[in-house]
Amino acid sequence: IGVGLVGFGLFFILFGMLLYFDSVLLAFGNILFLSGLVFIIGFRRTFTFFFQRPKLKGTSFFFGGVLVVLMRWPLLGMLLEAYGFITLFR
């Protein structure tokens, strides 16, 4: 179930970007991706990964970007998410 949710989440994110940053598709993709991640590695591991002390900057930018996309500012939200994603995994 988790791999399917992550796959559909990535599909909706890419499809939303192809359709000139459609905010509904991007928001749906973000929600599916995050819920799939929880299904794959578990709630506790997901929580401890995102909320480690050195990764709080990346986490705040990533989740801030998700919130900005949900508030219908898709381009700014995706830029914030990308910066948060790069900061989380460097």
3 and 32 inside one domain: yes
1 and 43 inside one domain: yes
The confidence band for 70, taking pLDDT boundaries of 50, 70 and 90, is very high
Four-residue CA torsion sign, 33, 39, 40, 41: positive
Give pLDDT, residue 24.
Answer: 94
Structural domain count, the chain: 2
Give pLDDT, residue 29.
Answer: 96
The confidence band for 88, taking pLDDT boundaries of 50, 70 and 90, is very high
39 and 57 inside one domain: no
Note down the domain range covering 7: 1-49
73 and 44 inside one domain: no
Give pLDDT, residue 42.
Answer: 96
The confidence band for 41, taking pLDDT boundaries of 50, 70 and 90, is very high
Q: Rounded to an integer, what distance in angstroms lies between the CA atom of residue 9 and that of residue 16?
A: 10
**43: amino acid identity, one letter:** F
